Chains A and B, each alone.
Chain A
Amino acid sequence: MNGAKPDPITLAVTRGALHQIADEMDLHLIHAAISPIISEMHDCAHGIYDAATGETIAQGGYGLPMFLANMQYTIQNLLSHVAAEGGFQPGDIWIVNDPYLSGSHLQDVTLVAPYFVDGEIFALLANTGHWMDVGGSVPGGWAPQAREIHQEGIIIPPLRLFKRGVRNEEVVRLILANLRLPEQIAGDLAAMTQVFHVGERGLADLIGRYGTRTVRACVEEMMERSERQMRDHIAGIPDGTYRFVDHFDNDGIVDAPLAVEFALSVDGTNMHLDFTGTSPAAIGPLNMAETTTRSLAFVALKHLFPDVPVNGGTFRPIHFEVPEGCMLAARYPAPVCGYTDVINRVIDVVFGALAQAIPEITPAAPFGTTGVTTVSGRRDDGSYYVAVFPYPGGYGASAQGDGLVNGTLPSSLAGFMSVEMSEHRFPLRFENLAIREDSSGPGRHRGGCGTTYEITALKDCLVSVLGDRVDHAPFGISGGGSAEPNRVRFHSGSREWEPEMRSKAEKVPLAPGDSVRLWSPGGGGFGDPRTRDLDAVERDLDQGIVTPECAEAVYGAVVERETNLAGAPRYRLDRAASRRRRSGTART
């Protein structure tokens, strides 16, 4: 402890300055990186961390949400390795991409640098950036058939990339020799190390103004206040244990469901998240390291309490039990590159449990599958292309209102390709891109609809799909219904067929005229659909979002008459008869 509490003005200014430093680090890498996945998709994160505890002091606001707490846990995992090798020295930069320590997948490479003031360590600066290739059996690193991590790429254990200011060129050569895009990634690596100067300059300014004692006191005060703020939120949740179970369809190799068992306990101002009972690691790559499981749980909580700041204090009241070796705490050598779909279910089960406790702010399940659709082949001029179309989908409804249509993943901010641009660049044709009618989870507030699109091949190509949520639809809460589940169909010649693993298929060949059609899930509903406002039901009918059959059977509405405008049906509900039908049902 550093004695006196900081004055409120210095506290406000210091907090702003620390966030500004982290934001500036984000923007510098986004600007300087060569790989578009960093410069355009912002697949990176930066922050300032406590040197002793690894706790987050500040993290930039431009990186992806999924790194929210991942950075802190990565650094905490790194600390013992560093200590065993003599601790941090001025000018060192450590590097790691071992997913069992640093989470997510091999492509996310983390650098950590100590910041010293007058010979004493003050804080750690860290960043994570997505490398476009890490070797392995498949370019880009996503290997759907991987059965162990070595098929996914090169593992970098915690190593000193810089020792007292000098880069270890031999380590760099060894790493780059194992990658398919060595020049591009050498550039990204240089950009990632340069970003530390931005952070160092910012910290030097701040400490020059207030001194280390005051800045440290502000950091402690910020953490304590964030902790109090998080504890206040938790105290507002009724004590108890809330259980929820959800599933994955299969791991893409063995057709058997995988369970995520979850119990969320609230005891005063503490929260305990227990994943005991979750399926053991899958044979295929549908696994995830514990670091990322924890981070995703915080992403879910941050969606519910967006006002809590991102620092170590926020994470203190939350305790985890993730059994080692289960699919959410995978151990070497389990493959993890399918974590892109696993992340969704962590968010789903947190929502599913908390909906029992605080339904007033918890949304129903969002569409819940990353559903990466990859098309590859050759253009007329012989050049090779890879086109990636990730799933959009519906968000769950909440007490506040209907769910959003065409949302992006809750853990991401990445967008969808333009149809016109795709048709310019790839020999593909979109038959449609539309709201998936009659797919929302019904409720007093209904979920957002899914999205449907059909892609026709103009030349021979290969299509891979990695999705989920076919057998287990996104759930509703507080009496709301489930959304329509995921659906994938191929059309080859005159034959229409579903992949054996439903929404997982690898390298399906399409001939010209063949197509793949996808229907992404909607979001779950909130509340009893028979209490939905009748004007809203009428509007949903006119907009084609629900069918008249559904309006009558599920929403308890009585359609009085149907007209049409230019072929589009228009409905008028009989308000009185609808109310009679709804109350009649209530009596029986």
Chain B
Amino acid sequence: MENIVGIDVGGTFTDLYYADDEGCRTTTKVPSNPRDPSAALIHALQASDVDPAATALIVHGTTIATNAIIERKGARAALITTRGFRDILELGRRDRPTMYGLGGVQQPLIPRDLRFEVDERLDARGEVLRPLHRDEVLALGTALANEGIEAVVVCFLHAYANPAHEQAAARWLAELDAGFEIVTSHSVCNEYFEFERTSTAAIQGFLQPLVAGYARRLRERLDEGGYRSEALIMQSSGGVVPLDQVAARAANIVRSGPAAGVMAATRLAGEAGFDNIITGDMGGTSFDVAVVVDGTPKVARASRLDFRVILKLPMIDVHTIGAGGGSIAGLDGAGILQVGPESAGADPGPACYGRGGTAPTVTDANVVLGRIDWARPIGAGDQEALDLEAARAAIGDLGKCLDLGVEETAEAILRVVNHTMAGRTRLLSIEQGLDPRDFTFVCFGGAGPLHGAAIMRDVGISRLLVPPEPGVLCATGCCIADIRHDVSRTVERPLGELGDGELDDMLDELRRTGEAHLTASRQQDVTPDVSYTADLCYFGQIHNLRVAIERGWSAERLGGAFEAAYRAEFGNTLADVPATLVSVQAVVSAPPPGRVVRSPGDVVARPATPARRRPVHFGAWLDTAIYDRRALEPGMSFAGPAVVEQADTTTIVEPGMRASVDGFGNLQVEANS
């Protein structure tokens, strides 16, 4: 029997999703353990009663890399650069942390006293202007060996055009056998723009020793528990990488959990027939939104992890704002109601958790309005019931400042936070030139389905899709991702200069590199999927456009594809300006072993029967039908107002909306027109 376990180790909760040929067998939520993330993972496995011997595959997403960057708890690393350029990492590209306010601190991943220069220089074509000297590298390496350095990052100017100097430096440093990890910039990000490449390589160096240790510990723990299965780690690109390769790709697993959620939403919505979706993942502290066009999530080529900490690797483009169940409501300086970005977090958490929190949160508002059943809570740890009175008191105190009643204040909190999320959702699609009304909204996360209907209405979207296990969707995503390797190289040449066959030679080289990685992942028996893209711009432009390309294309064909993309993006072309081929990329991917494929159930149209009824506040207290998600079968439908309850979340269907269950068990909600 094929079976698979997906585990998402988040900041607050560790979620588990277990499926076999029959589909989803179980979902589990346990508290995370920030001090020892692999312990929570084992805990989740044990709590789910998954038979170790029968588990074919464990795939997991983790926040360890993200947290190490934000908290600066990575390796003591050193940087070696071209003479004159050791400060690139700290200088960035001339900016400041916030638009207004000149304060703010910067903490480079590698401080200036651990940044060193050597005499060498290449030009933009990769030709050697000044050679690199072995003695100088060895002397520096020897000195660093006695300094407790865990990783040495080598980044030379124009190394993407000619990696020889970086490779030689790495080889000589390795000869010293000094115990530090060695990272070269071209091997992490083979593209120009020195700050972005140096930053990306520094992130890799900062994370590599930590992630290597984590992978080792996790493998030991799995072995101890009798889990013989292969383990894969989710990457931020939406693909997975084997545990034994993850250290070398440590920078690729930053924000892997949110990427997994988008992948799962894409797959589930695609099965249900929706290729253009906007995903909204609302948890305890944040709301993550992403756009998927034609079944493909938008990919960001560079992401800002912190001030002047830029990661230039393909990542699913997930935008985050501080709006979650724990977001605190209060008055701003003008006395106007505001929700977030401050969060009560997991500790003390919302007032209704009864752990000493007194600030009114979004979760408290949902409890006060009866949308969350205080007597049957989810995700509140081992608590039997929530403290309704504490929630009413917290919201009531805020209401006094606004001269509003308790329920009115709670409704106001929800309206403001829903507007904030809807506003960001609209801006994200507009930034990309898309009309949000052409999309289906897929909401998930522990708090997402409570707010999805309101966000859908505010944005002007007509359909909402709530997956079967929305509270653990990121864990689900781990189970459906491909093993994936992204490779790229900078070209930076006028398109007109490209000779016959030159493009194919470059693409073949990329494909071979990607396939070599896959072979190392023991995927020899599958034929990988290979897709190519190219970045182009008009000569002189700073930003470029990415277009899908194919092997065998001529330079003219490539130029035509660029012009079409440019016209679609900007409405015109700069016809007289020559185009430049900036870089080419390949994605080499293959499905993991043991992947579960779902087939739709029979859809029989019939009304759903509520499990019970209780008063829920929608502008006024309404007697509202409460449905048990497990009892909802394909074809069943019902009208709002309604509440759907399940182990991992609560879904709200507003008055004037209608919900039905599709063949895959998704809840589809539509506004009555």
Contact = CB atoms under 8 A, between A and B. Distances in A.
B621 interface: no
Interface in A22-61: 23-24, 27-28, 31-32, 34, 36, 39-40, 61
A23 B332 CA distance: 20
Q: Is the interface of B mostly helix, strand, loop or mixed?
A: loop
Interface stretch (A105-113, A144-152, A409-417): A409-417
Contact of A566 (B143, B402, B492): B143
Q: Is the interface of A mostly helix, strand, loop or mixed?
A: mixed
B: interface residue count bin: 35 or more
A543 B113 CA distance: 5
B564 to A, nearest CB: 17
B134 interface: no
Given A9-B415, A405-B90, A432-B84, A28 B111 contact: no
Contacts of A435: 87, 90-91, 112
Interface stretch (A131-139, A278-286, A338-346, A420-428): A420-428
Given A31-B431, A228-B334, A405 B106 contact: yes
Contacts of A568: 113, 116
B86 A434 contact: yes
Contact of A405 (B91, B100, B433): B91
Interface string B102-133: 11111000011100100000011000000000
Interface in B383-411: 402-404, 408, 411
Interface stretch (B167-175, B353-361, B416-424, B477-485): B416-424
Interface stretch (A266-274, A289-297, A299-307, A496-504): A299-307
B157 interface: yes
A566 B139 contact: yes
A419 interface: yes
Contacts of B101: 303, 306
Nearest to A414: B94
B543 A40 contact: yes
B102 A303 contact: yes
Given A425-B540, A432-B85, A16 B112 contact: no
Interface in B420-451: 420, 423, 426-427, 430-431, 433
A413 B336 contact: no
B102 A229 contact: no
A364 B44 CA distance: 53
A287 interface: no
A418 B194 contact: yes
Given A392-B94, A406-B91, A423 B124 contact: yes
A421 B192 contact: yes
Interface in A449-468: 451
Contacts of B553: none
A323 interface: no
Contacts of B412: 8-9, 12
A532 interface: no
Contact of A226 (B334, B338, B570): B334
A: interface residue count bin: 35 or more
Contacts, number: 191
B113 A429 contact: no
A87 B194 CA distance: 54
A408 B94 contact: yes
A407 B158 contact: no
Given A404-B102, A406-B90, A407-B96, A309 B85 contact: no
A565 interface: yes
B495 to A, nearest CB: 15
A9 B113 contact: no
Interface in B540-591: 540-543, 570-572
Contacts of B94: 390, 392, 406-408, 414-416
Contacts of B213: none
Contacts of B124: 420, 423-424
B158 A420 contact: yes
B539 to A, nearest CB: 8
Contacts of A566: 116, 139-140, 143-144
A24 B92 contact: no
Nearest to A432: B84
B354 to A, nearest CB: 28
Given A363-B103, A418-B195, A433-B88, A309 B334 contact: yes
A425 B419 CA distance: 45
Contacts of B88: 419, 433
Contacts of A570: 113
B51 interface: no
A171 interface: no
Given A9-B412, A16-B416, A34-B570, A424 B431 contact: no
Given A400-B103, A434-B86, A424 B192 contact: yes
Interface of B: 83-88, 90-106, 111-113, 116, 123-124, 139-140, 143-144, 147, 157-158, 160, 192-195, 332-338, 402-404, 408, 411-412, 415-416, 419-420, 423, 426-427, 430-431, 433, 492, 540-543, 570-572
30 contacts: A9-B411, A12-B336, A12-B337, A16-B420, A23-B427, A24-B426, A27-B430, A34-B572, A36-B543, A40-B543, A229-B334, A366-B102, A385-B540, A401-B105, A406-B92, A408-B96, A416-B94, A418-B192, A418-B195, A419-B194, A420-B192, A423-B158, A432-B85, A433-B85, A433-B87, A434-B84, A434-B86, A543-B112, A565-B144, A566-B139
Given A404-B104, A406-B90, A434-B86, 7 more contacts: A31-B431, A36-B541, A65-B99, A303-B100, A306-B98, A407-B102, A566-B143
Closest 7 CB pairs between A and B?
A432-B84, A416-B94, A566-B143, A225-B334, A306-B100, A543-B112, A392-B94
